[in-house]
Copies of this chain bind each other. A is one copy, B any other.
Amino acid sequence: MLELDYASSAGVSEMLMDQQEMRNSSPLYRRSGIPLYHQIQQRLLDQIQSGVFKPSEPIPSIQKIATRMGVSQMTVRQAVKSLCELGVIYSKQGKGTFISRIKLERDFRQVLSFSEETRARGATPHSRLISFRIQMPSRETREALALNHKEKIFRLRRVRYADSLPMGIECSCLPVNLCPDLLETFDPEGSLYQKLAEQYRIHLTVTNEVIEVGKASDEEARLMQIAPQSPVFLFTRLSFLESGKPVEHVKSVYRGDRYKIVNRLVRTKRDLLSSPLVI
């Protein structure tokens, strides 16, 4: 009964429609290229944030949101589901959808370069080059990057600073054939991830990471300006393209006194836990 109105509103008479139907919230933009479910998600986030909904009561039902916003239930559900996955809200069958008061910390970890991560923490990243050259990979790196026996790698070793304080030492290895002219065109003070994305369209989407603790060697201690034998984080990371191709193998040492890791762990539901779990 109302769908013709929506259709025409997209084409002809927006303002009329918006005023009468969307009286208590701004309208959705149907031709903006931004998916409706994403707009709805943002809208809900705003409303939760600004306290429109009481934490003790359920937020409006999916049906109500759908009719009020003039979209279908599926679309609203998509928005609600993604917010559930973020832990912002949670749904209980037969009861409703509620606001979760789980504290969201700012810096839960994603695949982030040191530069991005440092900026996200409100500091200014900066690097000092130790070495940058083409060489044969170590056996560990060769296996991690699935290289054949002849293939060479870039090896980039840098001291990383946040606000001019040394934080750690990163040693990053990439296959040469992926970005052959990196040695000439990359400024080792800058962000490697940014360079890879901009010049080569290489987007690292997944990282496997192993974290261990250890003691700083004399050289590491000197570079990081800490006492030898100080406890440090040891990171071993392997980053992949979406296709699963391993692209970057990194071994890092980070100061134990200045660095901490903030994780959010989520208990997976039935979706894969019920059976094989791992392929």
Q: Which residues in A have some Cβ–Cβ distance to B below 8 Å? A: 38, 41-42, 45-46, 48-49, 74, 82, 86-88, 90, 98-106, 109-112, 203-215, 231-233, 238, 240, 242-245, 256, 260-268, 270-272, 275-279
Closest B-chain residue to A111, C-beta based?
B267
* Smallest beta-carbon distance A3→chain B, Å: 18
A240 and B270 alpha carbons, distance in the complex (Å): 19
User: Cα distance A42–B106 when bound, in Å?
Assistant: 35
Nearest chain B residue, comparing its CB with the CB of A42: B275
Which B residues lie within 8 Å of A213 (CB)?
Answer: 213, 231-233, 256
- Given A110-B267, A233-B213, A265-B109, are A87 and B276 also a contact pair (CB < 8 Å)? no
Find out whether the CB atom of A256 lies under 8 angstroms from the CB atom of B208: no
Contact among B38, B111, B215, B262 for A210, CB-based, below 8 A = B262
Decide: B102 and A211 in contact? CB cutoff 8 A.
no
A240 to B48, CA, bound (A): 19
This chain: how many copies in the complex?
2
Q: Which residue of B lies closest to A213 (CB)?
A: B256
Q: Which residue of B lies closest to A107 (CB)?
A: B278
Give the residue name and chain of the B residue nearest to A256 (CB).
B213
Q: Which residues from B are CB-within-8-Å of A268?
A: 110
> Do the beta carbons of B49 and A279 come within 8 Å of each other?
yes
Closest to A82 in B: B271
- CB–CB B243/A215 < 8 A: no
Task: Note all chain B residues with C-beta closer than 8 A to A88.
Answer: 279
Across the interface, do B232 and A265 meet the contact criterion of CB distance under 8 Å? no
Known: A100-B244, A242-B100, A278-B104. A214 touches B256 (CB 8 A): yes
Assembly CA distance A261 to B233 (angstroms): 11
Question: When chains A and B are docked, how far (Å) is the Cα of A275 from the Cα of B45?
Answer: 10
Answer whether A206 and B264 are a contact pair too, CB < 8 Å, given A212-B256, A231-B214: yes
Chain B residues near A240: list those with CB within 8 A. 100, 102
* B208-A103 in contact (CB<8A): yes
- B267, A38: Cβ atoms closer than 8 Å: no
Across the interface, which residues of B come within 8 angstroms of A110, CB to CB? 265-268
Q: Are A256 and B231 in contact (CB under 8 A)?
A: yes
Question: B231 to A265, Cβ gap below 8 A?
Answer: no
